[in-house]
Amino acid sequence: MDIILLGPPGAGKGTQAQRLQAKRGMIQLSTGDMLREAVAKGTPVGLKAKAVMAAGELVSDAIVSALIGERLDTAAAHGAIFDGFPRTHHQAEALEVLLGERGRKLDHVIELVVDEDELVKRIIGRFTCAACGAPYHDQFHMPKVEGTCDACGGHEFKRRPDDNEQTVRTRMAEYRAKTAPILPYYESKGLVRRVDGMQSVEQVATAIDAILDS
C-alpha cells in the first residue's frame, strides 16, 4: 500500500508516519528529513537546499523528485508513506511516473485538516531527542524525567532552525499557494480521505487506521 499524508507544516504528518512505520512496517519517505540529512552532511543537494529551507520556501521539484526516486525501492515490500511529498503539481506528476515505472499506484491521499493558528503553537514548541529522534513538545509532551529521553535515555535534544514563527508563516503560505492546489488533482482520481488533525495523536491514528483497513 502506498499513501500520501498531506497537510500544512505541523499537521502531524511525521508523527503519524512514524506510527504507521512502527505498526505496519510501511516505510516513511520524508523529503524534509532527506533534505535535513543532506544539509547536515554538506552534500551538493544540502548546500543548495540549506538557505531555501531556512527561509521556509520550497526546494526545487527536480531535487526532491530525485531524492524520492532514489529511495522508493526501499519501500517496495510493505509500501511507502509519502510525508511532505508531493508539494507541487510537478511533484505529483513525477510521483505518478515513478510509481507507474514500478507497477505501483497510490492507494490513498490522507489530508490532515487543521487550524493553522494552533499549528504555529505546535511547531514552535517541538523538539526531538538528538540520539533517536523521539518527538517532544514544551507544552504538550515533555519527557517524563526532565532532560532524559523516554525512548532511549539520551540527554541531548534539538530544535529545527526553521521552527520560528516568521519561517513557519512562510511555510504555511507556501502550503496554501503550492501544495493545497494539488488536492483537486487527487480528488478527481477519488483518492482523497480527510481526517480531523486537531484530534489527539491517538484519535488521528485511529482514523487513519480505519481508512487503511477499509
Which residues make up the interface to ligand AP5 (CB under 6 A)?
7, 9-15, 31-32, 35, 52-53, 56-59, 64, 84-85, 87, 91, 122-123, 126, 135, 137, 140-141, 162, 171, 200-201, 204
Q: How far apart are CA 132 and CA 148, in angstroms?
A: 12
Strands (E), 39-131: 80-83, 108-113, 126-129
- Neighbouring C-alpha atoms within 13 Å toward the C-beta of 83: 26
**Least gap, CB of 197 to ligand AP5 (angstroms):** 6
Q: Quick one: 141 or 190, whose CB is closer to ligand AP5?
A: 141
Output the nine-digit C-alpha cell for 130: 538528538
Residues designated catalytic: 13, 87, 126, 160, 171
- Collect all residues with Cβ–Cβ distance below 8 Å to 214 and sequence separation of at least 6: none
Output the nine-digit C-alpha cell for 12: 502531524
Shortest CA distance to 117 belongs to which of 180, 178, 165, 58?
165
Q: Quick one: 24 or 178, whose CB is closer to ligand AP5?
A: 178
**Least gap, CB of 151 to ligand AP5 (angstroms):** 13
Q: Quick one: 132 or 190, whose CB is closer to ligand AP5?
A: 132
**Least gap, CB of 14 to ligand AP5 (angstroms):** 3
Nearest-5° Cα angle at 75, 74 to 78: 135
Q: Quick one: 131 or 170, whose CB is closer to ligand AP5?
A: 170
Q: How far apart are CA 101 and CA 95, in angstroms?
A: 10
- Tell me phi and psi for residue 112, to 5 degrees: -90, 115
Q: Are strands 3-6 and 108-113 parallel, antiparallel or unpaired?
A: parallel
Output the nine-digit C-alpha cell for 177: 499557494
CB nearest ligand AP5: which residue? 32
**Least gap, CB of 15 to ligand AP5 (angstroms):** 3
**Least gap, CB of 64 to ligand AP5 (angstroms):** 4
Q: Quick one: 20 or 58, whose CB is closer to ligand AP5?
A: 58
